Amino acid sequence: MRFIGLMVAALLWTVPAGAQTWKEYTYPESGFTIHFPADPQVQDGSYKTADGTSVKARIYSLEHEGTLYSVTVADFSSLKMSEESAIAQAVKQVSAEGEVLVDIEHRVNSTYGRQLSIVGKDGSRATVAVFYRQNKLYLTSGKVLSTNPDKASGDGLRFQQTLGWM
């Protein structure tokens, strides 16, 4: 019996530290939940649309172990922009950052959006999702930086896939 306990303890000890640190963060004021590997910074800023219009935004971000995680929530309530147009403009902007390998329709619950995989001009790899919900544009990005020694890290995708609505 003691041997089994030691084996379980040994197995738990070998689980990568990163797998133990991810937790869900809830942001009722912005209407979403997402998992980060550590506490993100939250700051107010602005988001510039493809046509040059600036709107208020809140940015949730963290650089952790060679990966940059971010969620930008832009307030489009003052704009007369359709869901399709808002998403298309955002996709156009993030597509300019590198070579788009994947650009597919994506849904979180019933909310339509787009999911992209982009190899940056600097050698980074980003998994990006764009949604428009309740007059807000949501832009999530998990970017494995070019300086990350684990070029095959799936943490960017893992982050982007944890988005949920409140």
Q: Tell me if 9 is assigned to some domain.
A: no
Domain-embedded: residue 66: yes
**What does the pLDDT look like over 98-121, one tens digit per residue?**
999 999 999 999 899 999 999 999
Structurally, the chain folds into a number of domains equal to 1
Of 93, 102, 21, nearest to 62 by C-alpha is 21
Taking the C-alpha atoms of residue 93 and residue 50, their distance in angstroms, rounded to an integer, is 6
pLDDT confidence of 20, banded at 50, 70, 90? Answer: low
Q: Is residue 71 situated within a structural domain? A: yes
Write the CB contacts of 141 (distance below 8 Å, at least 6 apart in sequence). Answer: 68, 69, 70, 71, 94, 126, 127, 128, 156, 160
| pLDDT tens string 113-150 | 999 999 999 999 999 999 999 999 999 999 999 999 89
Element (H, E) at 88: helix 83-95
Give, in order, the Cα–Cα distances in Å from 101 to each of 59, 98, 128.
25, 9, 11
Model pLDDT for residues 71-88, shown as the tens digit of each residue? 999 999 999 899 999 999
**Reported pTM:** 0.86
Q: What is the CATH number of the domain that holds 122?
A: 3.40.1000.10
